[in-house]
Structure 1
Amino acid sequence: MNKKLSVFIIGLALIIVSCRNSDRAADESIVNDSTRIVSINGTISEILSGIGLENHIVGVDVASTYPKSLLQKPKVGHNRQMAAEGILALKPDWVIGVREEVKGELEDQLKAAGVKVLLFHQEYSIDGTKQLILAVSDSLGLKQKGDSILAKLDQDLTALDSLPANTEKPKVLFIYARGAGTMMVAGENTQPAKIIELADGQNAVSGFQDFKPLTSEALVAANPDVILLFTSGLESLGGPKGLLEVQGVKETNAGKNNKFVEMDGQLLTGFSQRLGQAIKELSEKIR
């Protein structure tokens, strides 16, 4: 064989091997067999489980309810009200959550203890959900597994095209309830408002951001066609009969028609890889 040709072939082979090694390294998990993870956001927990890391999760926040096996994990509290001591007691290597929910003081305490902290921005939209899945899977070196759950999400979203459009978008009021003494309504740019819009409904209230206490006057003025609650919230009121006893409910279209919709909280407002399923279920229930 010509010497120059031989050198060229060897060089080409080295380049190919190098490229393959680079590709493998780019998709090599940074999580090893002994890695311990505490997840402090329900959607993050879903994504971690979806990319094959559930067995590495040693603790979760109270919103981490799916898959149901996560209910057996030790709880470290609500993501906005958790202490570093409870997290550190689980000896995590990583704490993973959503940046907007984690106080700077908590992050500093965890890092000072030698724990790696990964915090991601979450936007409540279809694109935001996809970006979060990509960010989590890429950061942990599991891009291919992230692509796999994204493909399933795209399938679910495409299936929504077969749903008939609502000729008139129903007015939907989301009520966050923890018994009759704690009832809040969801305003603009909240997770419930966003999912209602995606499900081809309209939020029954406007003019304010975040959540505010429910009043009978505002309830009657909003006159929703549908009242939407978490399943746990409706249960805390004693079911549909209890909801009808809330002042003002009977005067609304929803109350007159008993149009009360309940959904699992994490499914409804998590904006996880189950977003397509959530949109479909809500869309069908509010019609």
Structure 2
Amino acid sequence: MRVFIPAFLVAAVSLAWVAPASASVTVVDDVKRTITLPAPARRIVSVAPHVTEMLFAAGAGSQVVGVTEFSDFPPEAKRIPSVGNGVTLDLERILALKPDLVVGWNNGNAALQLAKLESLGVPVYKSEPYDYAAIALSMERLAHLAGTDMMGKKAADTFRHRLGQLQETYQKRRKVRVFYQIWRTPLMTLNGAHMVSAALRTCGGENVFAGLSQLAPTVSIEAVIKADPEAIIASSGEQDDVLAAWRRFPGMAAVKRGNLLLIDGELLNRSGPRILDGTEALCKQLDAVRKKS
């Protein structure tokens, strides 16, 4: 991919990064790379919704000057200029914002564009939190890069405390076997390494396809019927009934007991601080399933 970037923009961005070496800040990102800034970031571009949520939670919201179009929380994020949709980024617009830090998600086409930004000298923090501990740690690391350490530590400590309470309340309750549907055609789910499986474990749930090797594998209807989960869960937000097709199989435990459930995907599927809201909602749903058995 060739992207034309005016020379004056590159020069302008380079000048924005000049700062006293004594004020430098250093962290290790989620792919184990060391990121050093000459001074705490004052102009940050977020290229993933979960990153935007973490930056605001860590006290750096006022320093965010660019986001992707699906960054809709907190409400203030909707007023920040968009730099793309997360899959395709507008590099010229990003450079025009003169960021001294870009926080990105290392996926697909965006990964190539993040590499292009790095080749131009833009510091890039890669965010890929795959468990609760990484979310809390990410808020602390991003806060350090933004110079908001105290707020980041407070957000991380609050997150860890609430997680502990959820684990203590639900984790040891009777296991509920769950099929978590993320897509209908083809039929797709998530394996045991995904954050959703961590949420299920926190709630005393068990992902029936946790053992598959791919993070988001395709499975057959026959495989789901054979696994016979006690509950089938999908994300809400679509116009039609995403679980309607399962009612053709009344012999399945989930169908027979009325356990075709919806969960707010923005809460549970984003690896940001609100995932605990999604986890708590999931825990309450699985408790309702237990009462039907």
TM-score with structure 2 setting the length? 0.72
Deviations 1:219-247, CA, capped at 9 Å, x for gaps: 21121111122222xx24x13xx522258
Q: CA deviation at 1:217?
A: 0.7
Q: Alpha carbon RMSD of aligned pairs, Å?
A: 3.2
2:147 aligned to which of 129, 141, 150:
141
Distance 1:250 1:40, change over 3 A: farther
Deviations 1:236-282, CA, capped at 9 Å, x for gaps: 4x13xx52225865442222222133222232133323343332221
Deviations 1:169-195, CA, capped at 9 Å, x for gaps: 111111113xx5353111231222222
* Partner AA of 1:256 in structure 2: K
Distance 1:282 1:154, change over 3 A: same
Whether the 8 Å contact between 1:42 and 1:65 is mirrored in structure 2 is yes
Distance 1:58 1:274, change over 3 A: same
Q: Hey, what does 2:228 align to over in structure 1?
A: 223
Matches of 1:186 and 1:161 in 2, distance apart? 21
Over the matched positions of the two proteins, sequence identity in percent amounts to 22
Name the SS of the counterpart of 2:243 in structure 1: helix
Q: Hey, what does 1:30 align to over in structure 2?
A: 40
Q: Hey, what does 2:206 align to over in structure 1?
A: 202
Count of residues in correspondence between the two structures: 253
Q: How does 1:82-121 map to 2 (within 5 A)?
A: 82=89, 84-85=91-92, 87-88=94-95, 90-99=97-106, 105-120=112-127
Matches of 1:216 and 1:124 in 2, distance apart? 27
1:153 aligned to which of 159, 170, 178:
159
Name the SS of the counterpart of 2:147 in structure 1: coil
Instruction: Give the unaligned 5+ runs of structure 2.
Output: 1-22, 26-38, 288-293
Q: Hey, what does 2:11 align to over in structure 1?
A: none
2:65 aligned to which of 42, 45, 58:
58
Distance 1:166 1:148, change over 3 A: closer
Matches of 2:224 and 2:194 in 1, distance apart? 18
Matches of 1:83 and 1:267 in 2, distance apart? 27
Whether the 8 Å contact between 2:234 and 2:243 is mirrored in structure 1 is no
Q: CA deviation at 1:112?
A: 4.1
Matches of 1:249 and 1:81 in 2, distance apart? 40
* Partner AA of 1:203 in structure 2: N
Matches of 2:101 and 2:152 in 1, distance apart? 19
Q: Hey, what does 1:278 align to over in structure 2?
A: 278
Answer yes or no: is 1:192 the counterpart of 2:196: yes
Name the SS of the counterpart of 2:266 in structure 1: helix
Q: Hey, what does 1:10 align to over in structure 2?
A: none
Q: CA deviation at 1:55?
A: 3.2
TM-score with structure 1 setting the length? 0.73
